[in-house]
Structure 1
Amino acid sequence: MRDILPELREWHTAGTPFALATVVAVHGSAPRAPGAVMAVSADGAVLGSVSGGCVESDVFEVAGEVLASGRPQLRSYGISDDEALGVGLTCGGSIEVLVRACVPAADRDRLREVMDLVAAHEPVAVATLLPRATPGGTSDAAPGEAGAPAATLVVLEDRTAGSLGAEGLDAAVTDDARGLLAQGVTGVQRYGAHGQRRMQEVSVFVQTYAPPPRMLVFGAIDHAAATARIGSFLGYRVTVCDARPAFATRERFPAADEVVRAWPHTYLESTTVDARTVICVLTHDPKFDVPLMIAALRTPAAYIGVMGSRRTHLDRTARLREAGVGEAELARLASPVGLDLGGRTPQETAVSIAAEIIQHRWGGTGRPLGELAGAIHHAAPDGPDGPDGS
């Protein structure tokens, strides 16, 4: 939802009713992950996407029905029938899409709070009770009834708001939502009607809005400016760090969320790094590189990319071995950084770095898709997600 959040907040402030379509489940290959959203206003304006164009026209029609009736619908879309001009996916997988009405006057304060928290990068999870999937996508109870589909529970680290209709269900979902939020995972959980574990009477979609993952770029060079721009585009919160005051300036790095003047290893040892963080070392100087990489290898960072020629890489790894770094730790370094795209400019190098980060995250091969067979879209890996369309 982050990518369309400014417009949604404008609709909410203006009191514009809209329907929100959310991908709640993906089976097999699909263009968008759970949490991807498309919004349709009462006057027909559209924001976002749930499939990259395959089923949006049908979702648009369903959104109109939902706005008219106030009743949520859960729609399933599988492989399209090209000969019959059927609506569906062309990639071989299937998705489930929840379409619900968002009428600001109905729950103005709670909806505004969630959007404000997401905009401020504060952790919040929204749990929604799903209707049973039927061919028509209709729900079994009207909104407002106890346990009604599309009832929501907002979960923060220290409190909750709303209810799914049963105290036991709220308690179980709250515990699970906080766990999913800590991992940055969005998905469907199943329970008994009163929150019993190992039962599948009701399905609850838990959408998490964890703070954006971080990209730490070390070395205030022209390649860093291009890398910061593409990192921001991919949804990372970007920090550029360099010890040289003349180079580490806001004017040189307008795309970065912050520019830090500090010795790289000192800053890295003092800042928060988690399993979603990516580190790009572009400094080219052993007095910066070696202590910085020793510090980086002590973190749980998802990716550590280091710029330099193959000769520089060999010299660097020799220095790291002398400093006591083991082979398993050295294997974590992506060096020379990036995929072999043949690029030469800072912008092309930044694309190469971003491509390797994406490949690392999703487990891709880095080979041309035309040379491969099977699913194009890789399944989400277990564990923390990186940036997405949520």
Structure 2
Amino acid sequence: MHKELQDILALIRDQAAPLALATLLRVEGSSYRRPGSRLLTDGEQVLRGSLSGGCLEGEVLARAREVLADGVPRLLRYDLRGEADLVWGSGSGCEGVLDILVERLDPASPPAWVGWTEAVLRHRRTLRMTTATGEGFPRRRLDDGDIPGAGEVLEIIPPPIALWILGASDDSRPLVRLAKELGWRVGLLDHRPAFARPERFPEASRVLAGHPAQRIPDLGLDAHSAVVLMTHNYLKDLEALRLLADSDAPYLGLMGSRARSAKMVAELASEGLHCGDRLHSPVGLDLGAEDPGTIALAVLAEIQACFCGRTGGPLRTTRTVVSAS
């Protein structure tokens, strides 16, 4: 969702004419999209985002044109349960009740929440924001951690995942590209200056040269950070893991065989250092990956699952649904 949100914020800042923003505030039952999903439109076309599997977008676009015309926000409710789903689309399978807020935005003077959300991306702070859906909606405020009041919907927006890749060989390139497409912040570190060059990884936010002991302490690793070690150099990976063992990064991925990983873990344990369940090696989900592109897909899928508290298994074997926010 972060890439979509980043694109919407950029469009709000870049456009001159008024825009309409539709936000999925609340879901009862299941839904194709989660609460917090957004759709931005100029009234003629969808500029970015979606709220359903396609069954509601046309209807929401019509309401957005009304909001652009009179400036009055709408709070819409759509019941897609059972046979009602066939009325709105062709059986998208949402099977839930969706509350959607449609409001007009003036890019020349965007509301305060736009700046709050941009700060999440800039300063890597989690945003807790409540939106009032009662009289005078949509009033928004920064949440202080209390239970939302009656008629308020709480939205929690964490900062995007910061992925640091240790190793700037060619097989790191698809990992950088795919992570950037997800809206993650991506950095590379390599002890070889000839490899750690920004022009080789134009999608990366930072490309650093230097040995792990010199650079890792200053990477700013936090609870929303992931590190993937793929230097293909045993001693460099071991040196990096020594430093990462005490970091706040909840995900550490190590490229290589189980035997190589076990040897490193044993060496670190003999020094009193432990990475615990944070260390994933061989890194990535079992997708049958064999080339750099599919390996990158497997790695990013495992990181995504880890940060969402999921196992990464097939959805058909789970009972996870989107519940009311």
Amino acid paired to 1:130: A
Q: By how many angstroms is 1:47 displaced?
A: 2.4
Q: By how many angstroms is 1:292 displaced?
A: 1.1
The residue aligned with 1:299 is: 247
Q: Take 2:106 and 2:291, find their aligned partners in 1: how far apart are those partners? A: 49
What TM-score do the two structures reach when normalised by structure 2? 0.84
Please give the residue correspondences for 1:10-29 in structure 2 after superposition, counting only pairs within 5 Å.
10-11=14-15, 14=16, 16-29=17-30
CA RMSD, 1 decimal: 3.2
Q: Give the SS at the match of 2:200.
A: coil
Q: Give the SS at the match of 2:98.
A: strand
The answer (yes or no) to whether the contact 1:9–1:115 under 8 Å persists in 2 is no
The answer (yes or no) to whether the contact 1:218–1:280 under 8 Å persists in 2 is yes
Q: Take 2:324 and 2:241, find their aligned partners in 1: how far apart are those partners? A: 28
Please give the residue correspondences for 1:145-294 in structure 2 after superposition, counting only pairs within 5 Å.
148-152=136-140, 173-174=141-142, 176=144, 190-191=148-149, 200=150, 202-203=151-152, 205=154, 208=157, 211-294=159-242
Q: By how many angstroms is 1:243 displaced?
A: 0.9
Change (3 A) 1:91 1:362: farther
Q: Take 2:126 and 2:246, find their aligned partners in 1: how far apart are those partners? A: 29
Q: Take 1:26 and 1:213, find their aligned partners in 2: how far apart are those partners? A: 25
The residue aligned with 1:130 is: 132
Q: By how many angstroms is 1:25 displaced?
A: 2.5
Change (3 A) 1:54 1:293: farther
Change (3 A) 1:229 1:84: closer
Q: By how many angstroms is 1:69 displaced?
A: 2.9
Q: By how many angstroms is 1:318 displaced?
A: 1.8
Q: Take 2:120 and 2:18, find their aligned partners in 1: how far apart are those partners? A: 20
Residue 294 of structure 2 corresponds to residue 336 of structure 1 = no
> What CA deviation, in whole Å up to 9, does each residue of 1:332-383 have, x standing for no partner?
210110011111111111001011112212233333334x2534x56799xx
Q: 1:2 aligns with which of 3, 6, 22?
A: 6
Q: Which consecutive unaligned segments of at least 5 residues does structure 1 have?
A: 133-139, 141-147, 153-172, 181-188, 192-199, 382-390
Equivalent residues, number: 318
Q: By how many angstroms is 1:247 displaced?
A: 1.1
The answer (yes or no) to whether the contact 2:284–2:298 under 8 Å persists in 1 is yes
What TM-score do the two structures reach when normalised by structure 1? 0.71
Change (3 A) 1:344 1:245: same
Identity %: 33
> What CA deviation, in whole Å up to 9, does each residue of 1:24-59 have, x standing for no partner?
223443333332210121444542112242422221
The answer (yes or no) to whether the contact 1:54–1:90 under 8 Å persists in 2 is no
Amino acid paired to 2:152: S
The answer (yes or no) to whether the contact 1:363–1:378 under 8 Å persists in 2 is no
> What CA deviation, in whole Å up to 9, does each residue of 1:210-264 have, x standing for no partner?
6533111001122222211111112111010011111111122122111000112
The answer (yes or no) to whether the contact 1:74–1:130 under 8 Å persists in 2 is no
Q: By how many angstroms is 1:278 displaced?
A: 0.8
Q: Take 1:84 and 1:354, find their aligned partners in 2: how far apart are those partners? A: 33
